[in-house]
Chains A and B, each alone.
Chain A
Amino acid sequence: KNEVEQSPQNLTAQEGEFITINCSYSVGISALHWLQQHPGGGIVSLFMLSSGKKKHGRLIATINIQEKHSSLHITASHPRDSAVYICAVPQEGAQKLVFGQGTRLTINP
């Protein structure tokens, strides 16, 4: 089974700060997903990446396949970025995703 660990579990920062959320997994993968879950429960897929870096607005996701590690960065953070950020990877040998526990991010004005 592919184990997924996210850190930190909770993160509180001031508006404008640079945010980094980390994800480590135990087994080699084809692609990694970053998801954002808002307080109401709805989930939005942010990125799916298999190598290098992807950028979308103020969000940047990087992955190091050799080190089995990915990071999600938020530049110029804003209170509306407050959400739970979830990392997910495929389970080895199975068509299912394994999810991290999530990182609860709170951005204070």
Chain B
Amino acid sequence: ETGVTQTPRHLVMGMTNKKSLKCEQHLGHNAMYWYKQSAKKPLELMFVYSLEERVENNSVPSRFSPECPNSSHLFLHLHTLQPEDSALYLCASSPDPFNTEAFFGQGTRLTVV
């Protein structure tokens, strides 16, 4: 248990669906991240939020839309995804962006059909 909780753990969605991934941390961390892990590829950073402000958008398609309503919650809204978007989506948090150890959630295994 790392203190970072992601829901759902598994998600199957059609290409026309709209769904959201949720991440929650009550560690008092100021930075939260979304990562994508595709099969046999390294982790890819998608978004970074620091104090609820997006500080990094790593050229992610607009069909992925992050939202950080407060420092404890982070969402990833999904809309009209493609099958190649199927992957493990990991949320992480850290006291400050990148300079300290990050705590990761268990991930959401997303399958787009």
A95 touches B106 (CB 8 A): no
A97 touches B101 (CB 8 A): no
CA distance A43 to B98 in the complex (A): 16
A48 touches B101 (CB 8 A): yes
Q: Give chain B residues whose Cβ lies under 8 Å from the Cβ of A41.
A: 37, 88, 90, 106-107, 109
* A25 beta carbon closer than 8 Å to chain B: no
CA distance A48 to B101 in the complex (A): 6
Would you give the shortest CB distance from B43 to chain A, in whole angstroms? 4
Identify the stretch in A15-23, A64-72, A73-81, A98-106 within 8 Å (CB) of chain B at 4 or more residues: A98-106
Interface string of A38-71 (1 = CB under 8 A from B): 0011111100100000000000000000000000
B42 touches A45 (CB 8 A): no
CA distance A102 to B43 in the complex (A): 9
Main secondary structure of the interface of A (DSSP, over half): strand
Query: Can you give 10 A-B contacts (C-beta < 8 A)?
Result: A4-B42, A31-B99, A40-B106, A42-B104, A44-B104, A45-B101, A90-B98, A95-B56, A96-B45, A101-B42
A43 touches B55 (CB 8 A): no
CA distance A98 to B98 in the complex (A): 11
CA distance A33 to B12 in the complex (A): 32
CA distance A90 to B99 in the complex (A): 9
B101 touches A95 (CB 8 A): no
CA distance A86 to B43 in the complex (A): 9
CA distance A86 to B35 in the complex (A): 14
* A35 beta carbon closer than 8 Å to chain B: yes
* B2 beta carbon closer than 8 Å to chain A: yes
In-complex Cβ contact of A42 among B101, B102, B105 (8 A): B105
